[in-house]
A = this chain, B = another copy of it.
Amino acid sequence: MPPTSARVTAVDTHDVRFPTSRDLDGSDAMNPDPDYSAAYVVLRTDAGDGHEGHGFTFTIGRGNEVQTAAIDALRPHLLGRSVTALCADPGTLYRDLTGDSQLRWLGPEKGVMHMAIGAVVNAAWDLAAKRARVPLWRLLADADPEWIVGQVDFRYLTDALTPDEALALLRRRREGLAGRRETLTRRGYPAYTTSPGWLGYDDAKLTRLATRAVADGFRQIKLKVGADLADDVRRCRAARAAVGPDVRIAVDANQRWDVDEAIRWTRALAEFDPYWIEEPTSPDDILGHAAIRRAVAPVKVATGEHAQNRIVVKQLLQAEAVDVVQLDAARVGGVNENLAVLLLAAQYGVPVCPHAGGVGLCELVQHLAMFDYLAVSGTTEDRVIEYVDHLHDHFLDPVVIRDGHYTAPTAPGFSATMRPESIARYTYPDGAYWAAEEGNTTA
């Protein structure tokens, strides 16, 4: 039994960048050459149990050092904190961080500072689950509804969802939990794949990867669109030919359009029966999404990976602006704020289909989606987790995809731990990879 006097003794940060821009993996209409990166944080303690809390924010390259500096700014809130108290109630840390009045000015609750809070809060949850010797989805699903509600900050939400309403929702969902857990363990959670659809891939690669996705058991794929309409028509046609009429094809514009353009463009792709149009315009434009949704039905509107916080999600739901909420594990204030997102979506009866890909986002979001299935929404109908098949090897407990489904993780924690050798090699700019790169460039 670790001593209850154990404290957080160190907050290590790492600027880790992977050179993904070389193969146009991850290329889309707004992000032509991302270098998938992580502003990575490790919470260490003197508990003597060998457990660390790992967390990170995902970025796409430049500016990752700013994100790391933002995590560093949170260090005084962490050092000396009781490990037992932190793990018993990560919500207090979350409130202390978002409530720091001076740091709050830098958002509030948005952008670099909020993403830093998310990384640290997620690291605390990783530590809590490791110390409890369970995967995070189980820690959440086993928790009392009262405790879950206590982890949520309802500030600015009560016109849409009160603590009492959230509690009632969670209590109702206790029914059938055992059966859902059995289904989850046996079958996993449905996934869709974006791997075929990057904008930088040619048609042959798109067709080959789409065909393989169906053979691998996926029932939905996603294509990036929005750079050139003629290209998009051609690519959608090729994809539809490859997957047949029954597999869903989502399209993703990555915020490329104004409202009117989004409506025109989406209608021009309608003949290929897109399932949803994702990020048709600015992630800040709640009213814009509502206008687009009214105009492009029955094509669904999806957004959320850049939704800065629960207040934006609340309004997307209030305005009937979205058919699909795409939570992101590492943009908002960590697990605590994503509990609010899951509860809001359930309150409005809108499915959550998490955003993933990047670095380690698949590893994180699976826990949230599985908790959603078990204890919040109670269903996987019309729900899928995004899957992209790169960079998983850098994690100690990478996701396991089987027949188009995420397998429920069994290792304790939040699946967030990156291999030490990957951190060392890809640390920017001094890790072995980048140091050699610099040598090549200047040679």
Contact = CB atoms under 8 A, between A and B. Distances in A.
Interface of A: 30-35, 59-63, 65-67, 69-70, 73, 100-115, 155-159, 255, 258-260, 281-288, 291, 306, 308-309, 311-312, 314-315, 318-319
Contacts of A103: 62-63
A258 B105 contact: no
B315 A70 contact: no
A59 B319 contact: no
Copy total for this chain: 2
Contact of A110 (B102, B284, B311): B284
Contacts of A156: 258, 281-282, 284-285, 288
Contacts of A291: 159
A367 to B, nearest CB: 23
A102 B63 contact: yes
A16 to B, nearest CB: 15
A109 to B, nearest CB: 8
A101 B62 CA distance: 9
Contact of A284 (B67, B159, B311, B318): B311
A286 B283 contact: no
Given A73-B62, A111-B110, A286 B259 contact: no
A226 to B, nearest CB: 13
A60 B115 CA distance: 19
A97 to B, nearest CB: 11
Among A61, A63, A283, A287, which residue has the most Cβ atoms of chain B within 10 A?
A: A63
